[in-house]
Structure 1
Amino acid sequence: MESFEKPILRVENLRKQFGNGCDSCKDLKPNRLNKNYCPVCGTIYACQDISFEVFPGEILGVVGESGSGKSTMMKCLYFDQEVTRGRAYISSYKNGKENIFEESSQQKRYIRNNVLGKVYQNPLLGLKMDFSSIGNIAEKLIAAGNRKVNEMEERGKKLLEHVNISTLRMKEPPKNFSGGMQQRVQIAKALSNNPPILLLDEVTTGLDLSVQANVLDLIKKIQHELGISMVVVSHDLGVIRMLADRTIVMLNGSVIEKGLTDQILEDPQHEYTQQLVYSLL
């Protein structure tokens, strides 16, 4: 049995900057930066040396306002963007000994297709809107090396049922579906290769409240049934309260507070987190 003391994902000093930096800003001293921006050379530090861990079967919440760096961090973790520097280790990949940011593009593709699943805020980024829904799932399976058509069809059906989409509609393209259904197809696709870690980026933003509730219930159900670890990014503390075991709070590209979700919501320490929590009450 896997030890719950050993993190499944460990991220250390993840930095993402846009610009080369200068002597004034490269050591990231807060008094040299205007929020996350260097007034001397114009470099933007979207992620300022972020570190965190995710444990097996845990949901880690990441909360912060727009521009806090949380989506950039998710893009770096899924290799949608290159990191400037930093390390990340996944326990089920090469025994957690290799920094995934330094792996070859071929290995990064392998990690994307087999070890991580991602659900994007905008379904257009995660789905091919003109493919059938089951075709979208097959695409991820093929990318991971599956060539057995019957097996893929069986897996696709099972996953669509799992996310409450009728098999009668599995040949329909996601462009025919509502926003909530598109998110559910994305979740099915992300789960197709049983990844140990799922990355969810603002998956309920823009959905009606009742649809949001359905998607959140589905995420809880999946986590409960599959014991999958998740990183859930949201600017909505209500979402984080419902889903996350532990939470990190981001502001201007930095982690300013971390802890058990209940603890952060009941006794926030940082002034910004206090404002966030009181705005929810």
Structure 2
Amino acid sequence: MRKQKKRGFTLIELIVVVAILVALLLILVPRLTGFTSTAAEVQCQQTRQKVMEMYNAYQIKGEPVSIEDLLKNKDDEYFISTPKCSSGGEYSVIDIKGLVTLIKCSKHGSTLTGNVDTTPIGVRNTTMGIIDYINSLSGDEKKKIYGANYTNNTSVVEFIKNSLYNGKWPELDPGLVSAAGQGKSKMYLKMCYNNNDIKSPASKENTIVFASTKDDTSWNATMIYDFNRNCWLAPTKSSKNKNISVNNQSWNKLYTSISDWQPVEYSE
């Protein structure tokens, strides 16, 4: 009986197999890398959260402790081991007295040690406090804390959005939006500071709180808060401007442009 010769792979078949393996690697490696990156970010967030919880617990007990001591685990008193980011991120503290305290990782962002006031007055006060805080820093300190060695409206607002609101602006109450004649649109609470005076001590006159349909760092406003009357203003059907850019405007200048906007009548 004639023996059958064992047939090996041809060159073309080998090339096809290698090509398939390469394609699979190209698909799987980024995903695995992404999973690793996500896990590291979650671990870092949990670490900062534990430090925050420990800080708040000591505040409640009436035994204030500094966040710096917690992060250093001073005298090994607070944690089994010193809090660290597994990706090698550096922890620092941003303490804006009377407003917010942030635990910042150089690789994964910030965690608040408390709640942020998202009322219009709270947003205005927070914006002013952060501007004064940033202006007090050196160029190198600014670079470390919020990524730029200068102070301008865009960089400040992006810092507020990413550090205080986890990258997403607060949404306005749907009932308020509807009462303003904006239908069922989602509206986001945002702020803008007059860039022409941003290096001077922060003032109420230069801080504009407004609402927009876009969850980004753009300046077109569909609703604007009037602090003199403590109410939201919105355009009517007959208003000349249905939306307006609030960039680089003081309140007095802006108010002249929206003089035909009307107060929004709404109560929760």
TM-score (norm 1): 0.29
Larger Rg: 2
Q: Kindly indicate which of the two structures has a greater share of residues assigned to strand.
A: 1
Which structure has more relative contact order (CA 8 Å, sep 6+)? It is 1
TM-score (norm 2): 0.30
